[in-house]
Every structure is written in C-alpha cells, then in structure tokens.
Chain A
C-alpha cells in the first residue's frame, strides 16, 4: 500500500517537471474558458430555450474532443517513458508487483487529469454570483468527468505499456479511446433492438448527459469500473509478458 502511494505521488508530481504538462494545462484552460464564454453568449440571446449552463458545458463536442485528446496525452508517458529510459528495470526489481506499478501509474495520471479540471470549478462559482445555480447536477457532472476520464486513462495506460515510444503510445491510446467511445455511438447504426440496447449501455454520450442532468446511475459506474479493471489487467499482463521475452 505504501509502495502504491509512493508510485502515485511520484507519478503525479513528475507531470509538473515536464513542459508538456504546462502546455496541456494552458491550452485546456484557454479553450475551456472560451467554450464557457460561448455557451454563456448563446444562452443570453432571447430565442434560446432555458437550459442549465453547466450541463451544456459537460456535453458539448469540445468536451469530448478534450476528454479524448487530453487523456491520451496525459497517459502516453506513464509506462513508455520508463521503458525507454530504462528505469522500468529498477522499478520492476523493487519488491512491488506489476499490478501495483500499473495501478500506481494509472492513479497518478488520473490525479493529474482531475487536477486539470480543478480550475473549471471556478466557472460555477462565478455563475452562482449572478444567478441561482443547482450544484447537484454540477457535482454529478464532475463525477461523470472523473469516471469517463478514468476509463480513457486506463485505456491509455495499457497503450503506454505496449511501447517505449511515447508518440506511438499516444496514437495507440487515442485509437483505443476512440474505439471505446464509438462502441456506444454505433447504436445509431444498428436495427436489432436488443443489440441497440446493449450498445446503448456502452454509449458514453448518454452516460455524460445523464450525469450532467444530475442522474447518477450505478450501471454507468459499474461499466466504467469494469472497463478500468479490464485495461489495467491488460497493462499488467503486458508488463509480465516482458519477463519471458
């Protein structure tokens, strides 16, 4: 457990020593700030139907592009960097299992991912000064971000375990994340109602719309949790497989 915490802490802090983190952080805040402003403008025009602002903030197309891109970029270095530099050897010969290493790295990356979203909490604080804000759905929205982010980052962690090239890891993780995302979108293309239902269960857009409306459905949480476990399991296996190489 202490070993796990040590890995999480090192992983989280190491982001702040790389210029990449600041580039991501800045771009993230800049574009999110613009999106927030654009939504605000749109809602201010008289013909727009009345909607909760933050729920739009959590479900617009920029949100999804961001989630996928940022998760890939945050996850790409997790394991591939250590494999490239050779420090994976010292890490794996320490008395920690591969599963602990993978979990620790995933959690460290996830913590940084959540940290990126932290400043956006200010948006709702700003809103609450000018009008009535229902914090319930907003909290649920952030829960949705955390969960879907976890799923994407787990996929990215697996991609990062497969290669020592960070760019390859990023591309691979983007492809994996896109596949996870599209699996649910395919429901629109299927006629068979049973198949439609099954795919709808995987549809992350529906997930996020529910969360943004303040609906916390345990099925969604189970789906994400099992996805995370699945990808982390694959990452662990790919590290273990290297021993026999």
Chain B
C-alpha cells in the first residue's frame, strides 16, 4: 500500500510537483505517466525519501517516509531512472551487498539472494562483473537488488528506457510477475507500456495530476462521440449523405478513393448504429467491405489531455473538457485513417 497525500515540491521557488495525491493498493500496478519534465522523477524521489517534500506526505505501507525514514525504506524497493551500479562488483556480490545494507538477517541472505537472482533471470550472469553486462541485464540486476530484502512497495522509474525490444518485453513480463503481494508504482512516458502492464494510470503534467483511472476508463472518457469506419466497394459519391440521414448519426465524412469509399461516422453516445448502417448499405445494393468501431487509443487521450491543459490549466482530473471543444472533428477523421 502506497499513499501519496498532497505532495508538493518547489526548487528555488519553481514548483516542480504541485499537490499530487494518489494511492496504490496491494497487488496493483499503477502507471505514472507524463511527458519528460512533468515531475515524475521528482515525485518518485520524494516517495523514496531521496528528496524531502516541500509539503504533503508519503505513507509506505502505513509508515510516514519523512517521520520514520529507516522504517519506511525497509519496505521499499527502488529502481532509479539513471540506474548506477558499482561496475567493479560481480552481480552476486552487489546483490548480496544490497541485502546486507537493507538488513536482511544473515541466515536468510543466501536464500534471498538466490531467489532475487532467479526471479530477475540474472542467475546465469551472477559471477560476471557488472561492467561486462548489457543494459538489459544491468536493469534486471538493479531490479534484483531492489527486491532482495522483500519490499512491499516497488518504485520503478522508467524501467524500460534504453532497452532493446526483446529486453523491454522481458522486463515488462518481470514487472507483471512481481505484482503478487506487492504494490508497484511504475513511471513511463511510453504509452503502450501503460496499457500492457498497468492496472491504473495517473497522468501528470507540469507537476499536476491531469487524469486518473484505468486505461480503459480513460479511453472511454476521452472517446467523446463513438465512431465507426464503414467501407463499401466502388466510388459512391452519395455514401456519406445517405449514412448521415440514419437516426443517431451526427457526422459523416467521406474519404473514398481507389475503388472503394470510406465513410467515417460519428454518432450519439449510447446509440448503436451498426445494424442500421448494415441495412442501409444492403438496401442500396452496395457491397459492405469493412465496418470498424473507432476506438480512441490512450495516445489520443494523452495528447488531448496535454493539449487541453495548455488551453485550460484549471481542468480537474474528474472534469475533463468535452472532446469537441478540445479539438474539432475534422482533424480527428484524418487521424482515423
């Protein structure tokens, strides 16, 4: 369990993190999402006690980080963004050193060491010097070191940055496996990562939380008016006008060329026009080639949130600006292709 309560941090009067609050439950992976410079790392450094907050507090498994730092840090495993290990040490030595540093009882050290090395798939390089390892291996060694004392809360700052695609997959898989009995906070600026790994997302920009929710919720909240892409064979000039007349449809744009006509439909929330579209197409004797519901990707959500932030800085997380105001419909139709 990790609770962050109206955490703020300013550096020489510049507000880096502004009244950030959220909590992460046991067994949950929370994605901490934001563009570079949004305040992710600063927030994480306050959670881990590396920086002290200007205001607010952090509870790690119920223990206040500022009041009882040692007790709180015992429950914490941290993988910093710029991970730096001691290159001259061997993997086993380093993880053992971390176990001793974190107060693992002497008798438990060998077992914990073996477990951490195995969990993070680094036992095959256990006797190599860290200097000789690839970045992916180092990242996993860092993770093993963060895990060796059996922390309840894991804070991972951009764990997949700088890794090749295969290593990224491996680290993500590893993080998902670690959720059992733990609370995980993972920061990233890679959107697909959030969808693949996290149960819930907090989006932060310019030090403020701009949205929270499951990836699904955020997508739904942002997928303003539901959309549908319909393709029919042949170049049919009246296609958009015909579909526009169907009940519930609010907008239709035709972008057909090359032997087929493609219409992008928008309709009222709650309306399901798929059957009506199908009947209309059949009644007019057209051949239906494709009918695809348009789903806003998290990327849309993200871009929209951040662009609306600049326009209306007062927007609160639970009162997202309506999509139509944030962006006109036409450019979105272009995006849909």
A residues contacting B by CB (< 8 A) are 2-3, 5-7, 10, 14, 17-18, 85-87, 89-97, 243-245
A3 to B49, CA, bound (A): 18
> Hey, what's the 0/1 contact readout for B59-78 against A, CB within 8 Å counting as 1?
00000000001110110101
CB of B85 within 8 A of CB of A17, answer no
Q: Which residue of chain B is the closest to A90 with respect to CB atoms?
A: B80
CB of B88 within 8 A of CB of A17, answer yes
A17 to B88, CA, bound (A): 6
Q: B50 interface residue, CB < 8 Å from A? A: yes
Q: B97 interface residue, CB < 8 Å from A? A: yes
- Residue in A3, A18, A86, A87 whose beta carbon sits within 8 Å of that of B103 in the complex: A3
Q: B166 interface residue, CB < 8 Å from A? A: no
Instruction: Please name all residues of chain A whose beta carbon is closer than 8 Å to the beta carbon of B246 when the two chains form the complex.
Output: none
State the Cβ distance, B91 to closest chain A Cβ, in Å. Answer: 14
A5 to B164, CA, bound (A): 38
Question: Number of residues in B with C-beta < 8 Å to the partner?
Answer: 31
Q: A95-B102, A95-B103, A97-B70 are in contact. Are A245 and B11 (CB under 8 A)?
A: yes
Interface positions, chain B 64-108, Cβ under 8 Å from A, are 69-71, 73-74, 76, 78, 80, 82-86, 88-89, 97-98, 100-103, 106
State the Cβ distance, B214 to closest chain A Cβ, in Å. Answer: 29
Q: A243-B50, A245-B51 are in contact. Are A90 and B103 (CB under 8 A)?
A: no
Q: A90-B78, A243-B51, A243-B52 are in contact. Are A14 and B88 (CB under 8 A)?
A: yes
Q: B187 interface residue, CB < 8 Å from A? A: no
CB of B70 within 8 A of CB of A93, answer no
Q: Which residue of chain B is the closest to A240 with respect to CB atoms?
A: B52
CB of B48 within 8 A of CB of A93, answer yes
Q: Which residue of chain A is the closest to B96 with respect to CB atoms?
A: A6
Instruction: Please name all residues of chain B whose beta carbon is closer than 8 Å to the beta carbon of A95 when the two chains form the complex.
Output: 69-71, 73-74, 76, 101-103
State the Cβ distance, B53 to closest chain A Cβ, in Å. Answer: 9
A87 to B73, CA, bound (A): 16
CB of B49 within 8 A of CB of A86, answer no
7 extra interface residue pairs, beta carbon distance < 8 Å, beyond A3-B102, A6-B100, A90-B83? A86-B83, A89-B80, A90-B145, A92-B49, A94-B73, A243-B51, A244-B51
CB of B50 within 8 A of CB of A93, answer yes
A185 to B70, CA, bound (A): 44
A91 to B84, CA, bound (A): 10
Which of A5, A6, A7, A97 gathers the greatest number of chain B CB atoms within 10 Å? A6
Instruction: Please name all residues of chain A whose beta carbon is closer than 8 Å to the beta carbon of B78 when the two chains form the complex.
Output: 89-90, 93
Q: A90-B84, A93-B73 are in contact. Are A6 and B101 (CB under 8 A)?
A: yes
30 of the cross-chain contacts (CB-CB < 8 Å) are: A2-B106, A14-B86, A17-B88, A86-B82, A86-B83, A87-B85, A87-B86, A89-B45, A89-B50, A90-B78, A90-B84, A90-B85, A90-B142, A91-B101, A92-B50, A93-B48, A93-B49, A93-B50, A93-B80, A94-B73, A94-B101, A94-B102, A95-B71, A95-B73, A95-B101, A95-B103, A96-B70, A243-B50, A243-B51, A243-B52
CB of B80 within 8 A of CB of A244, answer no
State the Cβ distance, A4 to closest chain B Cβ, in Å. Answer: 9
CB of B84 within 8 A of CB of A86, answer yes
